[in-house]
Chains A and B, each alone.
Chain A
Amino acid sequence: MRKSILFVVSLLVALSLVLPACAPPAPEVIEKTVEVPVEVEVEVPVEVTVEVPVEVTPIVEEDPTALPRNETMYFNGQQWGPVVGWNPYSSSNNNAMAISQGDNARVVMFETPYLYNMLDGQMYPLLADGPWSWNADMTEITFKIKKAAKWSDGTPLTAEDVAYTWATHVKYNTPTGAANVDYIDTIEAVDAQTVVIKAKLDADGKTVNPLAVAAYVSSNYVLQKAWTETLEARAGGDATELLADTAEDVVYSGPYTKFFADDQKVIYVRDDNYWGQDASMWGKLPAPKYLAHTIFKDNAAGSVALAKGEVDVSQQFNSNIQLLWLSYGLPISTYLPEAPYGIGASLPTAYYNLNSPGLDQVAVRKAIAIAVDYPTIIANAMTNQSATFDQVPRSLMNPTDGEQALYDHDAVADLQWAGNDIEGAKKLLDDAGIVDSDGDGWREYNGQKLSYIATCPNGWSDWQAAIEVVAAAGQEIGIEISSSYPEWSVYQTIVTKSDAPLPEGYDIFMMWSDGAGPTQPWGRIRHLLSSEFVGMASNWNGNWGQYSNPDVDALIQAIPGETDPAKLKEMYTELVKMYLTDIPSFTLMYRPQSFHAVNETVWTNFPHQDDGTDPPVPPLDCTDGWGVACLYNVTLVSP
């Protein structure tokens, strides 16, 4: 073994020494060149490099030298850095393809009872049998588990597994447990198939948050009770140990499982005994035998691989994606054939630090917001992969039809702006008496020059480009705005500290907002505006500018319990009005839930607008929520 390793490394080094850089030599040449007398150089690295081939020793029993291209679907943009673990209770696995719970949960290896479809806002049963339902008092949700549902070890997946998963989340205060414990009281198994979720009730006996309870069934995995017990025994009941366990032995219910993982890629292989081929679910297995994700170190490398056909499904920002088909004629496409190419779902937002002198004035906030050149942000930062604010006027809603229908457009039309309104901004400031009184070119408020720092994390290039445009807008209207880009490690510590006013240097700063999901747009609005997060020492929820408005809070509180659509529309309209009036923050662009670009060299029949699928398959990289249906629809270009 050692000898062969030495030979391999020696060969490698020797070849690198003698191979000309630009002539791919034939194997015969190589055999000759091995003999080149470079013994001294060759011998030295051998000692230190013995680990490498050992590290890449195949860890799989099946041992093909390469994945058959016609059986493998390649991804990028989801997995950054090597996989750490396989533990679905933990969120520290860095295993994006296998473990990603949330609004559009990734159901490649682990599964949720329901699949959320961001295109029609519906939930479709996966592990569950038929739709879920509230009881008359709206305090309990009941649903059934499919009889066909099985674990990878062949045992049936039952209601008891659902109940035990929840109990474990609560017992060990996992992220899922902590996120839902305020809304869900218990989850019980009535019989092997029937699950009842009992909601937490408020003082009046009403469900605290029906939206959050209902979202649980499509956002969180069901995990096996028997395996969980094994894990608990291994961790000795210690929460930290349990969450740090890499769970190499995890039992799963989904169609794929781990096949290979190293620093350069992660590969999942289809479980041909997957229960979902039962007629009660998909009726067949997903088409690709392998799902493989190469780990790229930046977007540029990923984009090159997409263009070369080494990636089939791309979930990363590919700058000027349209050039790939318009200029290079490659078989690459996006969900929409024209700009904005994808469906916007989240609203990257610039927050105002409402404690900064001057920014406590609506006039100043509004003047900056209406002066910003949004078309430039969308053209430069997003290379037009965002709808413009002329196409989708600003509100609190994302551009999906479902959310757009939730507010009265006419009622807020006077409050919306599309940007570049320099004159309007100047007038607004002049009218408010915020003028340049000392003639230095900058306006003053209360005798103090309006001077701010706009910021976002360093290296987040699209956000940096947007921040520069915001700074330029300030210049135009007599407000000094300079930009600053701290490292993310520093930035996040400061921005999420909501128990004290933000420090200097964080006057205008960017953060994200929620995308599409079963609790949206309520969840997004809450995260943008609710004052409940002000005062948190580690606030990963939102409202980082520390806005506080009791009327807004009351509406946010009331919406989850409201079922009358007309009433809901009224409430959402009211919220949009207040948001566009107070302007505690403002949307800079629309961003898709996933950047979903596909190269159809090998696989075809990916989700595209008007592709005839019913229900429509969302452009979520064939892995998330109802988007996973894509894996059953794709076919080979050349079978």
Chain B
Amino acid sequence: MLKAYQKYFLNKLGWFLVTFVCAFILNFILPRLMPGDPVAAIVSRFAQGLSNATGVQAIYQQYTELFGTNRPMLEQFFIYVRNVVRGDFGFSFSMYPRTVADVLKSAIGWTICLQFPAIIVGWLIGNTLGALAAYLKGGFDKVLMPVSIFASNFPAFGMAIIFLVILGVGLEWFPTSGGYGFDMIPNFSWEFIWSVIVHYQLPFWSIVTIAIGGQAIGMRSMSIYELNADYVKYARFMGIQDKKIIGYVFRNAMLPQITGLALSIGTMVGGALFVEIVFSYPGLGYTLLNGVMGGDYPLISASTLIITVMVLSANFIIEILYGIIDPRIKAAQAD
């Protein structure tokens, strides 16, 4: 028994490492295959209005040297690996002379604070509603299903703008932009915290509203499938209490949903781009978008590396937990 689990664990770990190495290499190579020259973008800031050709050329060479973009790709890769091992992601091209670490540090907190609770809340509400719809059927299901399908297919941008226009501009219940009041200076006062909370609401509910629909639909289908499973019928014949049966049903229906949750949490560092743009909310999504647009290799590589690590880790942990929670999976894998 233990040996089977060990084999399962080592198997998963092996795949984790292989995937990680592949992803790491791709994270490095893919941004560098994009067209455009990021150093030219930096030089453009220095060179506007510069009329002597040698001056511009000198500046250009200075920066290609500094960023190492003139070296062969393989050499760049080994320098990158060496630096990453030391925790040094280098300068951000698009925000030079800021370092990538500094750029990420100032934005990632906002992103996680917004995304993590939103994903959890959306997931909880969505799954609860989905399960209820499957169990209660009737009117509740008939209303919930179309609403969920509508919400989950509604463009995220549109939802955020509707919230902005109705609740922010029209009713003026909530502020329309920023992570805290336009007239505030960050400090530990009740006013500031309140300002953060108020500014949090529209971005937060924009994400949650979209998330709920998809989760509810998935959970409903899974639950209906489980509710009709043989073991449920058998349990009913046995006279087991409904409450107890429901417990079993939802535990089983939950499994795929947990995988989905793990993936959402893994990718959340990528930011909620639409929310950040519509509400000018601070975070990594917009920074990353600018990085991609500006060919900011170090920033793209660092961000995608974090996302890779988080997705792989979340997946790995879930797989390991599955092995424990659901013996069927372990058994199938160990064969």
Binding site for B on A (CB under 8 A): 4, 8-9, 11-13, 15-17, 19, 21-22, 24, 41, 44-45, 48-53, 55-58, 60, 63-67, 69, 72, 74, 81-82, 84-85, 91-92, 94, 102, 173, 175, 178-179, 181-182, 239-240, 243-246, 260, 262-265, 267, 292, 294-298, 300-301, 304-305, 307-308, 310, 486-490, 492-493, 496, 532-533, 535-541
Given A19-B201, A72-B183, A537-B53 in contact, is the A9-B113 Cβ separation under 8 Å? yes
Interface residues on B, range: 35 or more
Contact among B59, B193, B280 for A12, CB-based, below 8 A: B193
* Contact status of A260 and B185, CB under 8 A, knowing A536-B56, A540-B44: yes
Residues of B close to A91: CB separation below 8 A: 45-46, 48
B182–A489 touching, CB < 8 Å? no
Bound Cα distance A481, B45 (Å): 32
Distance to closest chain A CB from B99 (angstroms): 11
Q: Which residues from chain B contact A48 at a C-beta distance below 8 Å? A: 112, 116
Report the Cα distance A15→B198, complex, angstroms.
10
A84-B98, A265-B178, A304-B176 known, 8 other contacts, Cβ within 8 Å: A51-B108, A65-B185, A67-B185, A94-B95, A264-B282, A487-B293, A488-B293, A540-B56
CB distance from A224 to the nearest CB of B (A): 21
- From the candidates A17, A41, A301, A488, name the one contacting B279 in the complex (CB within 8 A): A301
> Closest CB-CB distance, B56 to chain A, in whole Å?
5
With A81-B95, A85-B97 known to touch, is A297 a contact of B176 (CB < 8 Å)? no
**Majority secondary structure, B binding face:** helix
Assembled-state Cα–Cα distance A298/B164 (Å): 14
Cβ A65 vs Cβ B184 within 8 A: yes
Residues of B within 8 A of A (CB): 34-38, 40-53, 55-60, 62, 66, 95-98, 105-110, 112-113, 116-117, 120-121, 124, 164, 167-169, 171, 173, 176-189, 191-193, 196-198, 200-201, 204-205, 276-280, 282, 286, 290, 293-295
| A51 with B180: CB separation less than 8 A | no
Closest to A80 in B: B290
Does B106 contact A262, Cβ atoms closer than 8 Å? Answer: yes
A16-B121, A17-B121, A21-B201 known; A305 vs B46 contact (CB < 8 Å): no
Tell me whether A12 and B113 are in contact (CB under 8 A): yes
Task: Decide: A45 near B52, CB < 8 A? Known: A12-B197, A538-B40.
Answer: no
CA distance A111 to B46 in the complex (A): 20
Q: State whether A182 and B52 are in contact (beta carbons under 8 Å apart), knowing that A16-B201, A51-B105, A489-B41 are contacts in the complex.
A: yes
In the bound complex, what is the Cα–Cα distance between A537 and B191 (angstroms)? 54
Q: Are B47 and A538 in contact (CB under 8 A)?
A: yes
- If A84-B98, A489-B295 touch, whether A63 touches B176 (CB-CB below 8 Å) is no
Contact of B109 among A52, A240, A244, A533 (CB under 8 A): A52
Selected contact of B48 from candidates A4, A21, A305, A540, CB within 8 Å: A540
B193 touching A264, Cβ below 8 Å: no
Are B198 and A24 closer than 8 Å at their CB atoms?
yes
Residues of chain A lying within 8 A (CB to CB) of residue B169? 304, 307-308
**B116 touching A178 by the CB < 8 A rule?**
no
Which has the most chain A C-beta neighbours within 10 Å: B37, B178, B186? B186
Inter-chain contact B97/A92, CB cutoff 8 Å: yes
Inter-chain contact total with CB atoms closer than 8 Å? 238
Contacts of B186 in A (CB 8 A): 56-58, 262
Instruction: Evaluate whether A264 and B178 lie within 8 angstroms (CB atoms) in the complex, with A49-B112, A55-B106, A295-B280 already known.
Output: yes
- Give the docked Cα–Cα distance between A8 and B276 (Å): 22
Does the CB pair A41–B280 fall under 8 Å? Answer: no
CB distance from B174 to the nearest CB of A (A): 8
Q: Are B107 and A487 in contact (CB under 8 A)?
A: no
Q: How far is the CB of B10 from chain A (nearest CB, A)?
A: 28
Q: How far is the CB of B119 from chain A (nearest CB, A)?
A: 10
The residue in chain A whose Cβ has the minimal distance to the Cβ of B188 is A4
Decide: A49 and B47 in contact? CB cutoff 8 A.
no
Give the residue of B59, B179, B181, B188 whose beta carbon is less than 8 angstroms from that of A8.
B188
26 inter-chain pairs at a CB distance below 8 angstroms, sorted by A residue, are A8-B193, A44-B116, A49-B113, A52-B113, A56-B180, A58-B187, A65-B184, A65-B185, A65-B192, A67-B183, A91-B45, A92-B46, A94-B95, A179-B55, A245-B97, A264-B179, A265-B182, A301-B278, A308-B176, A487-B36, A493-B37, A532-B51, A535-B53, A536-B53, A537-B57, A540-B56
Name B92's closest neighbour in chain A (CB-CB): A84
B44 and A102 contacting across the interface, CB-CB below 8 Å = no
CB-based contact B51/A17 at 8 Å? no
Contacts of B168 in A (CB 8 A): 304
Q: A22-B167, A175-B47, A301-B176 are in contact. Are A82 and B205 (CB under 8 A)?
A: no
In the assembly, what is the distance between CA of A233 and CA of B205, in Å? 52
Interface contact B49-A541, CB-CB below 8 Å? yes
